[in-house]
């Protein structure tokens, strides 16, 4: 890989293997947790199979509801290999502080969204257990909120560097980074034009024709693009994304956002074919959806390819959302992908609120609940020494690893 690392945070890996597993204008998005495969009922998040009645002896019986508990992801974060750097993404589900932002009022008043003390503690607990060196976050109110959260709840974790930029989203949340390494540059592109992206090939959604439902003009929430200096000789470019939430009726918008991100990736690769780059975060799309496939078809390497293949609970272990779906990904340039540590990709399990929990009724989540997403992470070894002075060229081999020859209709997702 080359010195610059472009990291595209985007929740789980979009690998073809995972592909086998992957507001109104103001804020009706907060309710879009349904999908073609799994749905969330009015009583809380449910897996699609659980939302159906079991047929036994001709008699229809309701499926037993799950109480609060940990049902997805790993029970504990794996230990890091010596010398490895951990890269992670986590949608923290509306991290708001108690300071009033005058730009957010009425239906989107930020004070009404203030994160409870119990959730703040639960989020901090998950982040400490994750032990990421570079952590991409989605749904953070502001840089001021992130700084307050870090200084109050994440003391002594080494996150001396942070980044978060306003993107003009009506509900006031944005993408952010916490890092143990220096952040050299940060930008967002809220005015990027999406209507000119090229949709070549098959599988794309039809452009919506319903009046008032225009899509594909601008990012709903611009990605955060940052360069992180991991070592003097190793630069990582991180692209943190949070694609538009909602059902398949918003697939056209998500696809436009993904296509634009891939244009940025390809432009960076044209300047440096070995660039270390990652796109990661909340894609709001399952592996079989075109939004997710755009990244893998564009040549990025999915972290899911570096999962622990010995696990027996593969589906639940790599589910990233309370609805039972994998919708978060880490997609890397081939240069970065070569540095991934084999079998190091994981999803850290945190408390599921239980099937009876219904945020629409104004219910408080159970004690210990952190978010409706689960953090995802992978380790890599930052070493571009072989590229210095025109030396050895990294192979763009999918799944390659230095340690292996082979490698809610209501709430934002």
- Cα dihedral 391, 392, 396, 397, rounded to 10, equals -170
pLDDT at 110: 58
Going from N- to C-terminal start, the domains of the chain cover 6-34+69-388
Q: Specify the CATH superfamily of domain 6-34+69-388.
A: Endonuclease/exonuclease/phosphatase (3.60.10.10)
pLDDT at 45: 41
Closest CA to 340 of 138, 84, 43: 84
Distance separating alpha carbons of residues 216 and 255, to the nearest angstrom: 8
Distance separating alpha carbons of residues 345 and 338, to the nearest angstrom: 14
Distance separating alpha carbons of residues 34 and 48, to the nearest angstrom: 9
For 290, the token pair is 């075109």
* Alpha carbon distances (Å) from 191 to 55, 110, 187, 223, 409: 52, 24, 12, 11, 27
Backbone angles phi, psi at 134, to 5 degrees: -130, 115
Distance separating alpha carbons of residues 7 and 329, to the nearest angstrom: 11
308: burial class by Cβ within 10 Å (0-12, 13-18, 19+)?
A: middle
What is the CB neighbour count within 10 angstroms for residue 245? 25
* Alpha carbon distances (Å) from 263 to 115, 179, 198: 36, 26, 10
pLDDT at 210: 78
CB 224 within 8 A of CB 176: yes
- Give DSSP secondary structure letters for 284-318: -S-TTSHHHHHHHHTTPEEGGGGS-TT-S-HHHHT
pLDDT at 99: 79
The strand pairing partners of 302, in sequence order, are 331
What is the CB neighbour count within 10 angstroms for residue 364? 12
Distance separating alpha carbons of residues 64 and 51, to the nearest angstrom: 10
Indicate if the alpha-carbon torsion angle 329, 354, 79, 19 is positive or negative: negative
The strand pairing partners of 279, in sequence order, are 239, 331
Are β-strands 54-56 and 59-61 bridged in parallel, bridged antiparallel, or unpaired? antiparallel
For 388, the token pair is 């210095």
What is the CB neighbour count within 10 angstroms for residue 106? 7
Which residues 6+ apart lie within 8 Å of 404 measured at CB?
342, 343
Per-residue pLDDT of the chain (413 residues; tens, 9 = 90+): 444 444 444 444 444 444 434 433 344 444 443 333 333 332 334 333 333 333 334 455 678 899 999 999 999 999 999 999 999 999 999 999 877 665 655 555 456 778 999 999 999 999 999 999 999 999 999 999 999 999 999 999 999 999 999 998 867 799 999 999 999 999 999 999 999 999 999 999 998 887 766 788 999 999 999 999 999 999 999 999 999 999 999 999 999 999 999 999 999 999 999 999 999 999 999 999 999 999 999 999 999 999 999 999 999 999 999 999 999 999 999 999 999 999 999 999 999 999 999 988 889 999 999 999 999 999 999 987 655 444 333 433 334 334 333 333 334 55
Distance separating alpha carbons of residues 386 and 390, to the nearest angstrom: 8
Longest alpha-carbon distance in the chain: 72
For 73, the token pair is 């992801």
């Amino acid at each position: 890989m080359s010195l610059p690392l472009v990291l595209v945070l985007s929740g789980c890996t979009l690998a073809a293997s995972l592909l086998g597993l992957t507001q109104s204008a103001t804020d009706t998005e907060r309710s879009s947790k349904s999908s073609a495969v799994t749905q969330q009922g009015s009583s809380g998040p449910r897996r699609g199979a659980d939302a159906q009645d079991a047929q036994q002896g001709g008699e229809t019986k309701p499926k037993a509801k799950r109480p609060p508990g940990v049902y997805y992801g790993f029970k504990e974060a794996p230990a890091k290999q010596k010398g490895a750097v951990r890269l992670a993404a986590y949608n923290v589900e509306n991290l708001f502080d108690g300071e009033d932002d005058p730009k957010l009022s009425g239906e989107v008043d930020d004070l009404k969204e203030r994160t409870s003390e119990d959730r703040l503690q639960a989020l901090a607990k998950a982040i400490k257990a994750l032990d990421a060196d570079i952590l991409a976050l989605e749904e953070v109110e502001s840089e001021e909120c992130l700084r307050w959260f870090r200084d109050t709840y994440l003391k002594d974790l080494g996150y001396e560097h942070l980044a978060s930029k306003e993107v003009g989203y009506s509900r006031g949340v944005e993408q952010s980074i916490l890092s143990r390494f220096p952040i050299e540059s940060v930008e967002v592109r809220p005015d990027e034009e999406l209507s000119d992206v090229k949709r070549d090939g098959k599988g794309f959604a039809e452009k919506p024709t319903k009046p008032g439902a225009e899509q594909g003009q601008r990012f709903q929430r611009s990605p955060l693009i940052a360069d992180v200096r991991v070592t003097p000789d190793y630069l990582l470019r991180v692209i943190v994304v949070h694609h538009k939430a909602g059902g398949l009726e918003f697939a056209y918008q998500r696809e436009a956002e993904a296509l634009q991100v891939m244009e940025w990736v390809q432009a960076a690769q044209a300047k440096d074919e070995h660039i270390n780059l990652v796109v990661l975060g909340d894609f709001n799309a399952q592996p079989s959806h075109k939004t997710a496939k755009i990244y893998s078809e564009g040549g990025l390497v999915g972290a899911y390819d570096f999962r622990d293949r010995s696990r027996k609970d593969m589906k639940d272990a790599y589910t990233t959302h309370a609805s039972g779906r994998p919708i978060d990904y880490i997609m890397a340039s081939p240069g970065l992908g070569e540095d991934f540590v084999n079998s190091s990709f994981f999803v850290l399990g945190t408390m599921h609120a239980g099937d009876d929990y219904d945020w629409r009724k104004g219910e408080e989540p159970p004690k210990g609940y952190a978010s409706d997403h689960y953090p995802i992470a992978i380790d890599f070894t930052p070493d571009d020494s072989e590229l210095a002075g025109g030396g050895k060229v990294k192979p763009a081999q999918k799944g390659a690893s230095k340690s292996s020859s082979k490698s809610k209709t209501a709430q934002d997702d």
